[in-house]
Structure 1
Amino acid sequence: MTSPPGDYTATLPRKRMGSAVLLRDDLSRVLLVEPVYKGYWELPGGVVEESESPYLAAVRETKEELGLSIVPGRLLVVDWVPPCTGRTEGVMFVYDGGVLGVTRTVEIHLPADELRGWAWSTPDEARQRLSPLLARRAAAALKAATGGFTRYLENGNPVV
């Protein structure tokens, strides 16, 4: 999508955005996926495409990565991530995917070219499988889901 001539907003800085869902089971474990192209696991999700809302990106990514059509609930986490070597700054969103029962779990189908596997993970297992940044974000999202609030983070750390 291009901006009309003279659109001042087209000259403003742009930020990378990503969206994910926090899916839980009845034991409060979180669902993590293992990408084939990274050395650590992630929450299901991905990049927000041009002219796509973060919410719709979470819906699309859940369908693409897990084969599940879901209607995410409320926003759990917004995480601003500073730039570092090999990565631009970004804004990441995590939505509540709710509790996934056994009947829905058997519907999970992974794209073999993108994901190696998936697993339910306790908080300790999640800390081992995720990068430190993603572990902080996932823990904050789980607390927000069970606590009924939304949390703002910077680099995975609560600000307020």
Structure 2
Amino acid sequence: MTANEMPPVATPRVAAGALFFDNEGRVLLVRPSYKNHWDIPGGYVEPGESPRAACLREVQEELGLTVTIGPLLVVDWAPAEHEGDKLLFIFDAGSLTVEQERDIRFLDGELAEWSYVAMEALEQHGPRRLALRIRTAVAARDDPSSRYAEHGIAV
């Protein structure tokens, strides 16, 4: 079979993010300056980079923190209109110390602020699909086992 005879294959955009928690079980959300809603710290994986490495890099670039990333919580197949197929990886980043919270700096200018948000308030900060994805990740953390999701819902 030649390259011209090969069937088309998916080439999804891949992103990775970190879930940080406070002692009340709220998740850390960030408000990107280029979006109309809040999100979790993270971003797109670069060529040749693993999702875990991208997560660490993005946390460093966005928050100015060097952290330890824990286990994978969820992989979400989440195609988006105007962006095509997407695979989103969310990792457990545990809790930040008071010192780490004080050290948060928006080094790359992509973020405007951060806040811990309760599970029941997620839809007030972002799209429903993000809230579903976060809740699926939290369920995986509580279980503990990773999940596969589509559009934020565990399958």
- In the superposition, the TM-score normalised over structure 2's length comes to 0.90
C-alpha contact (below 8 Å) 2:18/2:59 kept by paired residues: yes
C-alpha contact (below 8 Å) 2:62/2:108 kept by paired residues: no
Q: Following the alignment from structure 1 to structure 2, what is the Cα–Cα distance between the partners of residues 151 and 72? A: 17
Determine which of 76, 89, 94 is the counterpart of 2:90: 94
Q: Following the alignment from structure 1 to structure 2, what is the Cα–Cα distance between the partners of residues 135 and 73? A: 21
Matched with 1:75 is: 72
Aligned positions of 1:1-160 closer than 5 A: 12-84=9-81, 86-111=82-107, 113-159=109-155
Of 43-52 and 105-114, more deviation after overlay is shown by 105-114
Please tell me the residue identity of whatever aligns with 2:36.
Answer: G
1:95-154, CA deviations, whole angstroms, 9 ceiling, x for partnerless residues? 000111212111111136211110011112222102111111111111211221111100
C-alpha contact (below 8 Å) 2:29/2:41 kept by paired residues: yes
Give aligned-pair identity as a percent. Answer: 37
- In the superposition, the TM-score normalised over structure 1's length comes to 0.88
Instruction: After TM superposition, give the deviation of residue 68 of structure 1 in Å.
Output: 0.7
Change (3 A) 1:32 1:13: same
Unaligned runs of 5+ in 2: none
C-alpha contact (below 8 Å) 2:28/2:40 kept by paired residues: yes
Tell me the secondary structure at the aligned position of residue 23 of structure 2: coil
C-alpha contact (below 8 Å) 1:26/1:101 kept by paired residues: no
Unaligned runs of 5+ in 1: 1-5
Instruction: After TM superposition, give the deviation of residue 60 of structure 1 in Å.
Output: 0.2
Q: Following the alignment from structure 1 to structure 2, what is the Cα–Cα distance between the partners of residues 150 and 57? A: 18
Matched with 1:3 is: none
Please tell me the residue identity of whatever aligns with 1:135.
Answer: A
Q: Following the alignment from structure 2 to structure 1, what is the Cα–Cα distance between the partners of residues 118 and 79? A: 27
Tell me the secondary structure at the aligned position of residue 137 of structure 1: helix
